[in-house]
């Protein structure tokens, strides 16, 4: 089995910012309620004809820059998304075309907010066995098109975005230590988004179906706080890494109260958790690479840091993976080389 190297990371969010105050035009809510119950202050949403593939392509281009590799070297593209623009072709096909990655195989993987972790773990299997050498893993979702914007229980929580990571097989190094994936279909109804396409007109019609995301918030809260910390502990155990021996917890950015309760349950200081939920809301499959990208760009996460990535959400589903960030981020190097002449000759 080969080892895994992480080469780069990238992200993209749409420009349109919707604040909590903006939402008061659509429903009976307040900045105070949303911020205190969730930690969210604003989110990004797509406008016009922007597609989830457009976001995924921009995040992928950013990750290629970070890794300093070209798209024609990619062998595999996996897009974790549960809000594709089309049933087919898959988002991966549009990404492949736009990037110019003719040698890449690919598929989309729908596992809601666990989509990125599940896609990364799936890519890992192809690389470890030697079937492929280099993979692009994307998490991208546009939930703003699947919201009832008068439903204050759900619509205030979500935002749109995309994140991407480039990983490759290595003969000499391994920086992906252990992973776990789970689903519990018995609780699927607690968080769901159904298609409401009609039956053939010659047969009994389907029952009326909500085209919007529906959620039992309290049950999802209980599930996340109850099961997810156990999965983190179990992945750490398999990696032989203690609770004090990793640097940052990169949790799916769903709700700050959920995240806080998880750190309490694990006995981890909240400072060891990366956080950008306040500015983007829950971006579903995008949230982990989005927050990780920010932590790398701001220098919070440094080469050598061990990270615990953990996604959870619709399915219900959850999964954790433990990795070491070792990549030299070429976006940061480029910034330094642009700034250097100014410091030499002010
Ligand atoms: C959704 C969530 C924030 C609701 O918080 P809560 O404390 O459980 O709130 P409740 O559902 O008990 O609602 C309390 C009251 O606030 C109201 N309320 C709900 N959303 C509101 C909003 N956006 N603004 C103002 N009031 C709101 C409710 O209608 C209810 O009013 P009532 O008592 O008059 O019926 C919380 O359950 C949660 O975070 N769940 C997890 C959701 C999640 O993260 N999902 C994605 C996982 S991937």
Residue range 252-288, pLDDT digits in tens:
999 999 999 999 999 999 999 999 999 999 999 999 9
Q: Does residue 282 carry a catalytic annotation?
A: yes
Q: Residue 180 pLDDT > 70, yes or no? A: yes
Mean pLDDT for 179-193 is 96
- Long-range CB contacts (< 8 A, 24+ apart) of 229-235? 229/262, 229/265, 229/266, 231/180, 231/182, 231/310, 231/318, 231/319, 231/320, 232/262, 232/266, 232/308, 232/310, 232/320, 233/266, 234/180, 234/320, 235/178, 235/179, 235/180, 235/308, 235/320, 235/321, 235/322
What pLDDT is recorded for position 336?
Answer: 64
H/E segment holding residue 209: none
DSSP secondary structure string for all residues of 43-55: EEE--TT--HHHH
What's the angle, vertex CA 323, arms to CA 246 and CA 281, rounded to 5? 85
DSSP state of 149: T
Closest residue by CA, ligand 1 atom 13:
153
Going from the Cα of 217 to the center of ligand 1, the distance in angstroms, rounded, reads 6
What is the residue-averaged pLDDT of the chain? 94
Q: Which residues line ligand 1 (CB under 6 A)?
A: 29, 33-34, 37-38, 113, 152-153, 156-157, 215, 217-218, 220-221, 254-255, 258, 282, 313
Test site for ligand 1: of 111, 217, 225, most ligand atoms within 8 A of the Cβ? 217
**Residue 337 pLDDT class (50, 70, 90 cuts):** low
The pLDDT tens digits for 294-336 are 999 999 999 999 999 999 999 999 999 999 999 889 998 777 6
What pLDDT was estimated at residue 346?
31
Pair of tokens at residue 321: 């993976």
Q: What is the CA radius of gyration of the chain?
A: 20
pLDDT tens for each residue of 143-164 = 999 999 999 999 999 999 999 9
Confidence of residue 37 (pLDDT cuts 50, 70, 90): very high
Q: Active site residue: 92, 282, 293, 310, which one?
A: 282
Identify whether 252 is a catalytic site residue: yes
pLDDT at 62 exceeding the cut of 60: yes
Mutation pick for ligand 1 pocket among 221, 223, 312, 317 (CB with most ligand atoms within 8 Å): 221
Q: What is the model's pLDDT at position 344?
A: 37
């Amino acid at each position: 089995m080969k080892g895994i190297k992480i080469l780069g990371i990238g992200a993209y969010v749409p420009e349109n910012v919707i604040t909590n105050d903006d939402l008061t035009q659509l429903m009976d809510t307040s900045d105070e309620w949303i911020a205190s119950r969730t930690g969210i202050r604003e989110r990004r949403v797509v406008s016009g004809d922007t597609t989830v593939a457009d976001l995924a392509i921009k995040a992928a281009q950013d990750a290629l820059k970070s890794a300093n590799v070209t798209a024609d070297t990619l062998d595999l593209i996996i897009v974790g998304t549960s809000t594709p623009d089309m049933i087919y072709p898959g988002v991966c096909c549009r990404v492949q075309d736009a990037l110019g990655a003719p040698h890449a195989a690919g598929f989309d993987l729908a596992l809601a907010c666990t989509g990125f972790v599940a896609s990364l773990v799936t890519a890992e299997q192809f690389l470890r066995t030697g079937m492929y050498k280099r993979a692009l893993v994307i998490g991208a979702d546009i939930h703003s098109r699947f919201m009832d914007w008068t439903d204050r229980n759900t619509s205030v929580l979500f935002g749109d975005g995309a994140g991407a990571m480039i990983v490759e097989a290595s003969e000499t190094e391994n920086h992906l230590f252990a992973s776990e994936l789970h689903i519990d279909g018995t609780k699927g109804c607690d968080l769901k988004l159904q298609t409401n396409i009609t039956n053939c007109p010659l047969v009994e019609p389907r029952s009326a179906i909500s085209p919007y995301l529906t959620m039992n918030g309290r049950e999802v809260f209980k599930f996340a706080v109850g099961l997810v910390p156990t999965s983190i502990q179990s992945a750490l155990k398999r990696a032989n890494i203690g609770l004090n021996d990793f640097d940052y917890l990169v949790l799916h950015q769903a709700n700050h109260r959920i995240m806080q309760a998880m750190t309490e349950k694990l006995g981890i200081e909240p400072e060891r958790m990366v956080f950008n939920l306040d500015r983007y809301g829950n971006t579903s499959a995008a949230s982990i690479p989005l927050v990780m990208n920010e932590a790398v760009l701001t220098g919070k996460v440094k080469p050598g840091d061990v990270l615990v990535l953990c996604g959870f959400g619709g399915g219900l589903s959850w999964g954790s993976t433990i990795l070491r960030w070792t990549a030299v981020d070429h976006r940061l190097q480029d910034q330094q080389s642009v700034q250097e002449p100014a410091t030499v000759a002010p």
